[in-house]
Structure 1
Amino acid sequence: MLKELFSFKDRYRILHLTWFAFFLSFVVWFNYAPFQTAVKEAIGLTEGQVRTIAICNVALTVPARIIIGMVLDKYGPRITYSLLLIYAAIPCLAFAMAQNFSQLVISRLALSIVGAGFVIGIRMVAEWFSPKEIGIAEGIYGGWGNFGSAAAAFILPSLATASAVFAAGQINWRLAIALTGIIAAVYGVIYLFNVEDTPSGKVYQRPNRHGGIEVTSQKSFWLLMLMNIPLVGILGLLAWRISQIGLLNQTQLLIVYLLLLGLYLFQAYKCWDVNRDMMQGKKRYPPEERYEFSQVAILELTYFVNFGSELAVVSMLPGFFETTFSLSKVLAGMIAASYAFMNLFARPGGGWVSDTLGSRRMTMTVLTGGMGLGYLLMGGVSSSFWLPLAIALTMLCSFFVQAGEGSTFAIVPLVKRRVTGQIAGNVGAYGNVGAVAYLTLYSFLPAGDVGNRIFFQTLGIAALIVTFLCYFFLKEPKGSFAEHHEGETPEMEVEKLPIFSEES
């Protein structure tokens, strides 16, 4: 596969067009972070308001990933990704033209939906690559696309500074943010007319019913109900955190809680409606149609500890290096940014290891365990630590984190093909659940070495608990290294020989 990766033909063309769509969605999603100080000064915000906008940036990503997963399975990745990228221009332009705090909050909440774009490409790439190569293909998609967060931090400030002539000599953050949305929308149109959902002759499999995840046993249904609680509960935690800085009063907070309870009950009803016949004993799935939702639950927890911790660590790492080693903001920021650079090869590397090792279960277990040990070691970093060793330890830990992410989504498309979008949406949403949970914990810890040590030790212990679950309960997916996906016949595979040749 690697030999023809840059040929830009057939499935590789789809891969490159899709990871770049993800790249742009992350540039849009992270376009506020480089301009926090500039926005604060231009609008006259307090420090609490600045942090509130940062929280709003992830607030709706959790439900958006679930909803987009459902839309994706019904309408296909081509239309879904194109419409999401075109939509990105609306909140970007609104944020760029905002004149007060309320307008910033509303536009940022709307923009947080764009962060759900990741799950769309998971299904697209899975349609074009066989199970035996799915790990590295999804790793390239996730790793190279995820680099958009680092690109936003490096490119957008330079663009804003260069265009300062149009903003009375001040950094032109409005133009930079508006341009990210416009570019995303233009690329959305390009994507719409240049990709296909499946290779020629291949049928796009859709769920039997829409509105909730289809499961194949009563035990799986009740586990689904349990695992849906944190997806709504984390929004309640966000609401409570916002209320702590005075944006919501107690009455408004109670209303939010009631709305979230209603959301959970509605989601539960939709899942019941989809699985009604099975739950009432009117339908029984044959063995070849069944899958265990417990496997999805474990993957949700792996993404909680790897991608959730990545988002949390990226948010605190610049301040960690600045205060621990008395560095300048610029130098600390550059060191911290190298964490995101690891995505370029660590996440594809995790997928490649999953493809090569011969056991996706053991790959997931080893990488998660390495991440846990890495975080525990980082808990020992203090002001007396040698700085180069601290940087090397951070990079080593980030490799295990991002390789673990690649390993997670090397398994997701193999669980149950026709509901891959919904499974990817739920697993991806748990990454955001983890980020909010970890960052909320961090906000209550004391500043300095003690708080940092508790934070990293918490990340490490959580990862080791999930390592235990992976080793004892995660199962090797059926057809992990097969020549064709579930539901494809050998005859269909013959038709695809020009695309899935041995030479690739």
Structure 2
Amino acid sequence: MNTGSIKQNFLSLKGRAKILHSTWLAFFITFLVWFNHVPLMSTIKSSMGLSDLEAKILLILNVALTIPARIVTGMLVDKYGPRLTYSALLAVSAGLCFFFAFAQSFETLALAKFLMGFVGAGFVIGIRMISEWYPSNQLGLAEGLYKGLGNVGSAVAAGTLVYVASLFGGEDNWRYAIATTGVIALVYSVFYYNAVTDTPAGSTYFKPNKSGGLELTSKFDFVFCILFNIPMLLALGVLTWRVTDSGIVAGTGQAVVSGAGLISDEVSYAIYALLLGLFALQTYKLFQVNNEMLQSKPINPLLRYKFKQVAILSIGYAVTFGAELSVISMLAQYFENQFLVSAAAAGIFGACFAAVDVLSCPSGGLISDKFGRKKPLIILLTGAAIGFFTMSMITPEWPLPTVVATMMLCSFFLGSAAGCVFAVVPLVKRKLTGQIAGTVGAYGNVGAVGFLLVFSFVTPSIFFVTIAVSIAFAALCSVFLDEPSNKMAEVLPDGSVQLIEVH
């Protein structure tokens, strides 16, 4: 692709480029809202009288609901289209943002932060929108630009909201800074609804035949999918365990950390039962959607796809986005505690990690467009694993510029690998792109929950080693990924099967 082509296709404010820019900005705002508390955590702790453990619980709760939310949002976007779904999510995000901003107790903060995890589901919507507008030979770069530019919302939150809060003054200035992000989300929800369409003029928006579960094409994949849903519910179960009265007792090297005491043991038992019921309902819905296939009804070979592809991509995203999300959540406090810098400086240093996504995600997508989908993913995951092993060796004696540079280089490999993952997601099964993106995205939060849980009990060095080992495992799994075919089959409204060129 030459420079003129890039300018025409990506730097324009018309046609598909308008859709890209409008959609990454929607994603940017959801991340601005989702992570608006991170740079202000020290102020929130002081204002609300929170303990260190309660602050860590808020970080974990922030990603909890996003796991089921991304699954549900994936179904909604496939059924109703990304225009309506994204606009509605932005409006809901604004309301949840106001709820958190004016909470008066830790319990209310925790509930608001738990509900705000739904904001993180917005990412899934844009994946489907971009795939409807861009040809496959530009899809990796387009999805990478969407993800990379949108992720900067967390970096902008880290780099600006401390300053915004200072403009208001007073102990509760953090509330007004957070409420400001809610106003932005509400205004943009109206703009987005009026600025975009689901597909180019004359194109068909393919929808699943049934809703409520992922359509599968073999009995083996049906069983595989059921088993693959278990880690998502286990992650929610672990979160429940972590915030009960009895909690987890673990040695930290210097002290003993008990449970958060956020909910009683009795309430936790009810939540466990609810999660088991949710798993049963999810399995039943999956059976309903795939009943005809399970009864051995013949499936056109052209319409088959392998759930293995979804599973491998989900593992890859669990370690890339999961690591990114957890590191972003702890990095500002890490710089404050390890290098004794101010809260504002720590927020800026932490923002550098997320800001790399502007280059890394599009780079990963572009590499995937040019050199294939599989090999670049393996190489970039390996680079990220090496990067986190290096981060584990950082000590307070390291010069700050060296520390920041090391983290940014590691972030580049991490974001590029994530860009490669979502260069493949729209090429698995077009009409199921929202649901597949929802599953892959949900696993990103499963990874974040796991990493943040580890972080609450270990030193930063061991935390980084844990991430490195997990990424190395994902690189090994990626060896078994199938390179997407050069054609994708879809069923037209009249029932006929159409082969769509994807390369």
TM-score, with length taken from structure 2: 0.90
Residue 286 (1) aligns with residue 290 (2) = no
Instruction: Mark the CA change 1:332 to 1:100 in structure 2 (over 3 Å): closer, same or farther.
Output: closer
Of 59, 66, 69, which residue of structure 2 is paired with 1:64?
69
- The superposition leaves residues 228-281 of structure 1 with CA deviations (integer Å, 9 ceiling, x where unpaired) of 001111000111111111112222111111111111111111111100111121
Q: CA RMSD in A?
A: 1.8
Distance 1:319 1:90 in 2: 28
Of 323, 339, 343, which residue of structure 2 is paired with 1:309?
323
Contact 1:135 1:348 (8 Å CA) reproduced: yes
Residue 432 (1) aligns with residue 445 (2) = yes
Which residue does the alignment assign to 2:388?
375
Distance 1:101 1:422 in 2: 34
Contact 1:161 1:171 (8 Å CA) reproduced: no
Of 125, 129, 143, which residue of structure 1 is paired with 2:148?
143
Instruction: Mark the CA change 1:488 to 1:127 in structure 2 (over 3 Å): closer, same or farther.
Output: farther
Distance 2:167 2:457 in 1: 39
Unpaired runs of 5+ in structure 2? 245-258, 493-503
Q: 5 Å matches for 1:298-337?
A: 298-325=312-339, 327-337=341-351
Which residue does the alignment assign to 1:296?
310
C-alpha displacement at 1:462, in angstroms? Answer: 1.5
Instruction: Mark the CA change 1:192 to 1:248 in structure 2 (over 3 Å): closer, same or farther.
Output: same
- The superposition leaves residues 296-330 of structure 1 with CA deviations (integer Å, 9 ceiling, x where unpaired) of 00000000111111112223333444444555554
Residue 98 (1) aligns with residue 106 (2) = no
SS at match of 1:197: coil
Unpaired runs of 5+ in structure 1? 446-450, 490-504
C-alpha displacement at 1:193, in angstroms? Answer: 1.2
Q: 5 Å matches for 1:116-195?
A: 116-164=121-169, 169-170=170-171, 172-195=173-196
Letter aligned with residue 289 of structure 1: L
Letter aligned with residue 321 of structure 2: F
Instruction: Mark the CA change 1:93 to 1:333 in structure 2 (over 3 Å): closer, same or farther.
Output: closer
Letter aligned with residue 252 of structure 1: V
Instruction: Mark the CA change 1:98 to 1:331 in structure 2 (over 3 Å): closer, same or farther.
Output: closer
Which residue does the alignment assign to 2:462?
454
Distance 1:477 1:126 in 2: 15
Letter aligned with residue 279 of structure 2: Y
C-alpha displacement at 1:336, in angstroms? Answer: 2.4
Residue 19 (1) aligns with residue 24 (2) = yes
C-alpha displacement at 1:135, in angstroms? Answer: 0.4
Of 271, 277, 300, which residue of structure 2 is paired with 1:262?
277
Distance 1:203 1:65 in 2: 24
Which residue does the alignment assign to 1:465?
473
Distance 1:452 1:402 in 2: 20
Distance 2:317 2:48 in 1: 36
Which residue does the alignment assign to 2:266?
251
Distance 2:328 2:180 in 1: 24
Instruction: Mark the CA change 1:385 to 1:109 in structure 2 (over 3 Å): closer, same or farther.
Output: closer
Over the matched positions of the two proteins, sequence identity in percent amounts to 46
Which residue does the alignment assign to 2:289?
274
Q: 5 Å matches for 1:224-235?
A: 224-235=225-236
Distance 1:388 1:158 in 2: 23
Residue 6 (1) aligns with residue 21 (2) = no
- The superposition leaves residues 87-110 of structure 1 with CA deviations (integer Å, 9 ceiling, x where unpaired) of 112112222222222322222222
SS at match of 1:261: helix
Which residue does the alignment assign to 1:475?
482
Distance 1:159 1:230 in 2: 39
- The superposition leaves residues 179-216 of structure 1 with CA deviations (integer Å, 9 ceiling, x where unpaired) of 21122122111111110000011000000110000010
Contact 2:36 2:161 (8 Å CA) reproduced: yes
Contact 1:143 1:344 (8 Å CA) reproduced: yes
Contact 2:158 2:350 (8 Å CA) reproduced: no
Residue 345 (1) aligns with residue 346 (2) = no
Residue 354 (1) aligns with residue 368 (2) = yes
Distance 2:342 2:119 in 1: 33
Distance 1:372 1:193 in 2: 43
Distance 1:45 1:429 in 2: 29
Residue 414 (1) aligns with residue 427 (2) = yes
Q: 5 Å matches for 1:396-411?
A: 396-411=409-424
SS at match of 1:476: coil
C-alpha displacement at 1:454, in angstroms? Answer: 2.5
Instruction: Mark the CA change 1:69 to 1:464 in structure 2 (over 3 Å): closer, same or farther.
Output: same
Distance 1:343 1:51 in 2: 25
Instruction: Mark the CA change 1:108 to 1:384 in structure 2 (over 3 Å): closer, same or farther.
Output: closer
Instruction: Mark the CA change 1:107 to 1:318 in structure 2 (over 3 Å): closer, same or farther.
Output: closer
Which residue does the alignment assign to 1:108?
113
C-alpha displacement at 1:219, in angstroms? Answer: 0.8
Distance 2:400 2:160 in 1: 27
C-alpha displacement at 1:50, in angstroms? Answer: 2.7
The number of residue pairs the alignment matches comes to 473
Distance 2:469 2:54 in 1: 32
Contact 2:162 2:344 (8 Å CA) reproduced: no
